[in-house]
Amino acid sequence: MVGIPITASPRTADLTSLSDADLVVHARRGNEMAIRTLVQRHNRRLFRSARAIVRNDAEAEDVVQATYVHAFIHLASFRGEAQLSTWLTRIALNEALGRVRRRQPSVGLEEVDMTAGSGRGEVLQFPTSLSGADPETEFSRSETRRLLERAIDGLPDEFRAIFVLRDVEGMSTEEAASHLGIKSATAKTRLHRARKMMRVTIEKQLAGTFSLLFPFDGARCAAMADRVIAQLSNYKELGKVRPLNTEPEI
Q: Could you tell me the CA-to-CA distances from 243 to 4, 45, 150, 219 in Å, in that order?
A: 19, 23, 37, 32
What is the per-residue DSSP string for 178-237?
HHHT--HHHHHHHHHHHHHHHHHHHGGG--S-GGGSS---HHHHHHHHHHHHHHHTTSS-
Which tens digits make up the pLDDT trace of 154-181?
898 889 999 999 988 888 999 999 888 8
pTM of the predicted model, to two decimals? 0.61
Question: In the chain, what are the domains?
Answer: 12-103+215-232 (1.10.1740.10), 123-212 (1.10.10.10)
Per-residue pLDDT of the chain (250 residues; tens, 9 = 90+): 344 555 555 455 578 889 999 999 999 888 999 999 999 999 999 999 999 889 899 999 999 999 999 999 988 888 877 889 999 999 999 999 889 888 765 444 343 344 344 443 333 333 344 344 444 434 456 776 777 888 888 898 889 999 999 988 888 999 999 888 899 999 999 999 999 888 887 764 554 555 666 777 777 788 888 889 888 887 755 555 555 555 555 5
Q: What is the pLDDT of residue 135?
A: 45
